[in-house]
Amino acid sequence: MSKTTHAELIFHALRYAAESLAEGDLHAILELGFRLDQIARLERLTLGDRHHLSQVRTHVLHIAVDPVCFDRVMDHMDRNKRHEGLQDELIRLRGPLAMMRAFFGMTNAEYAARRKLLGLNGTGVGRPLAPTENEEAAVWQVWKDTEELPLEQRFLRIGQSTGIPLNTAWALVQSWENAGLINNDPPEHTPSVSPCHAG
């Protein structure tokens, strides 16, 4: 490690210790390896003192990574990124607020903010268009073909494979559920036209 890099590391570590002391977080400082008598000396350090200590060539600080914990943190971050990516894609496909609230607990403000970030202000809002029979049949087929997937993935597949706005598909699936035609899973037999027109 270069002298400059090490000096910066020492300086930031001392600043972290000073801020922890100011917040009364003694445990955080003890975890760094300081003794109680050293903590008392830390309390008396000025900004100039910390800068001077960081310039000392002797390496008084050693950084170690917990590889198991690091992997867990990285995996958690990757899951969150995929989760947010799924949400963004559903919104791009015009997933309505009711869907996003049901799947992700998204609030009105969060939904509006995500739409704004995605450049969708004024796009796809309002009452969804009624689907044609061909569109109903297309949604029904994808719904049947994706019964092993989680609900949010099923709607994602509908939007991606049919091009039908998800606010329309959501309303359609809700109408099937209300009519007792499906209960989270599609019925065993496909109607000849579409479930909305079944006799």
Residue 2, pLDDT score:
56
Put simply, whether the predicted model's pTM sits higher than 0.85 gets the answer no
125 pLDDT tier (thresholds 50, 70, 90) = low
Q: Which residues contact 170 (CB under 8 A, 6 or more apart)?
A: 95, 96, 98, 99, 128, 155
User: What amino acid occupies position 185?
Assistant: D
Name the least confident of 51-60, 102-111, 139-148, 189-198.
189-198
Q: How many residues does the chain have?
A: 199
How many H-runs (helices) and E-runs (strands) does the chain carry? 10, 0
Unique residue bearing structure tokens 């609900």: 151
- Which of 184 and 69 is assigned the larger pLDDT? 69
Average pLDDT over residues 119-138: 81
Three-state DSSP class for 2? Answer: coil
9 pLDDT tier (thresholds 50, 70, 90) = confident
